[in-house]
Chain A
């Protein structure tokens, strides 16, 4: 299996621009997670999906952030407009759906976003 695929790996953009991050989960994994990691705040869960449905988006920092999962093999995280404080590494992870417990999450390599 190719693992979780994220694109782009690096993104440099100017403040005010729209940024779209993409993720392809592992086939057969029905749970998908978006995280943001910074030195100051560590790894923060932004939003997660089960069977393409957003379950908890309480970690999304503000309305500038949105995430979609139109099908089981693709998800996007969009920032519009971007700001310098959005600079971070954004990880996507997927796992098998748990009924009574949580399972291992497999992380993609991350997208390193720099907003100037």
Chain B
């Protein structure tokens, strides 16, 4: 079983749609959680951190359920510019913070 698993995708949605990404992690000692975004042939960049209380940044909402070891990302009113790969990331302390990336879910938003 992979340490971080995501929906395989790709997701193809029209502009304005709401899309949800799911992610599960296997290590219950995981301490920090993130969503990164990666555009084609570019480096990953932080989209948002994920907190137990849930957090929102404009059209993006992230949720964490530690009991279920589950993370989600919701994008509302999707834009063409949201087309990218979304990576779920988990950090575990091993003398420093070891980060594990999920395989990513590709999103295509079409006009």
Q: Which residues of A contact B (CB under 8 A)?
A: 31, 33, 35, 42-45, 48-50, 55-56, 91, 97-98, 100-102, 104-105, 107-110
Contacts and interface: CB of A to CB of B under 8 A. Distances in A.
Say what secondary structure dominates the interface of chain B: strand
Contacts, number: 59
B94 A55 contact: yes
Given A98-B32, A102-B32, A56 B98 contact: yes
A33 B97 CA distance: 10
Contacts of B31: 100-102
Contact of B45 (A48, A50, A100, A107): A107
Contacts of B34: 102, 104
B31 to A, nearest CB: 6
Instruction: Place the interface of chain B in its size category.
Output: 20 to 34
Contacts of B87: 43
